[in-house]
Amino acid sequence: MSTIPPKIASELADAVYQVRKPDRTGSYALEINPSLRKAFNIEPKKDLVIGETGGFFGLYTKKSGFAVIGEGQNRFRRDTVIAVRGSRTDADYLTNFDVGISTGTNNQSVHSGFEETFSSMRPVMEKRLRTRMDQVRGEHTIHCVGHSLGGALASLIADWVKSRFQTQVNLYTFGAPRVGLNGYALTNTARIDNHYRCTHGADPVPLVPVWPFIHAPTEGAGEYRLDSAEGISFPAHSMGINGTPGYRNTAMADDWSALKRQSTRFLNQPVRLRYEDRLQASFTNYWSEKLNAALITLLKDAGYYSVLAIQNTMSSALTFYDRLAKSLEKIADASTEFAEQTAGLLGHMLVFAGKAAVAVTKLTYQFIRWVFETTIGALNRCVKKALESL
């Protein structure tokens, strides 16, 4: 089974942004360098996939060029690539505090906005890939590539392709957000043959949506950290060669073994935070992950984790944080130990969100809900700036 080198995967993720809209003549153009052209033949006239984005409660949608499907050449002659662009103008999909949940093609809970856009693209991809599968008999690898929102869509596409066509599938993402809940992440981890999830240390987009959304792959060294940056910075989300640092630049390698690989921190480690230590928190990727782990630890300690996880798969996430806030209120009332653990979590969240002056005095539903709104709002504002800067 073949694998696309990092520098070609990153160029694909960058180049596909060109097909968002046609030129003055109504044609779609795609300019790529010779090395990529030797690997894949992509003709926007026949290989373009239109997608719908921007929908909110079904009131508004916008169609635009979203992906291209290319046929492999030379050493990739038995391969197919699907490159999906991210968002340039419809950044509102991550700006809402409440993220809807729907059932994906693998019968697992996923981000409803991502699923809706993917569903709008699927009929064209089905037809195009069926034709390609008839052309390539025997061993065949389909590579799914994307940056930002495109990475989330590439994940859904890869999962669907694996189920629908039963062929080898590789997934390459750059600065992608979380796509689904634990069930989706586990299923995606098991289905996809190879994951290459690339991030920058200060990129805010991979931090959202927050729990209960989880990255895939869920185990092992599934993340390729392409730089050593810390903190949170919206330029870190940039894809192009003129970005700072720009995924095109940090992924400039001929082999994946040359890139640093790491496991997701805190994923299976219990984290309990003390209120008096809250000033140690900062607005960084590190603390975003640690707060996420501390929340999961508290819910597990109190016996609420499984109940909330099940409830969340049965209804919209528009009410999830209401249920979470009410659950934390009950947990805090259950014992002094849980009250202290809850206060420690909320205190660190407030410092993370830039509200260090706000004291945690009452562990009420209203206050807990406000802390979550404030914290996630701080993350989403940073993500919005990152998307608008592309």
Domains and CATH numbers, the chain: 6-264 (3.40.50.1820), 275-386 (no CATH)
pLDDT at 91: 41
pLDDT at 310: 61
CA angle 369/370/373 to nearest 5° reads 90
- Rounded to whole angstroms, what are the CA distances from 20 to 52, 205, 336? 11, 21, 55
* Cross-strand bridge partners of residue 52: 63
φ, ψ for residue 225, nearest 5 deg: -85, 115
Q: At residue 123, what is the residue type?
A: P
pTM: 0.86
Q: Read off the pLDDT of residues 303-352 as tens digits, 9 standing for 90 and up.
A: 988 777 666 555 555 477 888 999 999 999 999 999 999 999 999 999 99
- H runs (alpha helix) in the chain: 6-15, 34-39, 44-47, 112-135, 149-165, 182-191, 247-250, 285-301, 305-314, 320-334, 336-352, 365-388
* Sign of torsion over alpha carbons 89, 95, 99, 100: negative
Local structure of residue 223 (DSSP, 8 states): E
Local structure of residue 264 (DSSP, 8 states): P
Residue carrying the six token digits 């992950």: 289
Spatial distance between the Cα atoms of 143 and 172, rounded to a whole number of angstroms:
8
- Rounded to whole angstroms, what are the CA distances from 158 to 41, 114, 265? 20, 13, 25
- Rounded to whole angstroms, what are the CA distances from 113 to 13, 42, 103, 107? 20, 27, 11, 16
Across 68-81, average pLDDT: 91
Q: Read off the pLDDT of residues 137-178 as tens digits, 9 standing for 90 and up.
A: 778 999 999 999 999 999 999 999 999 999 999 999 999 999
φ, ψ for residue 163, nearest 5 deg: -70, -40
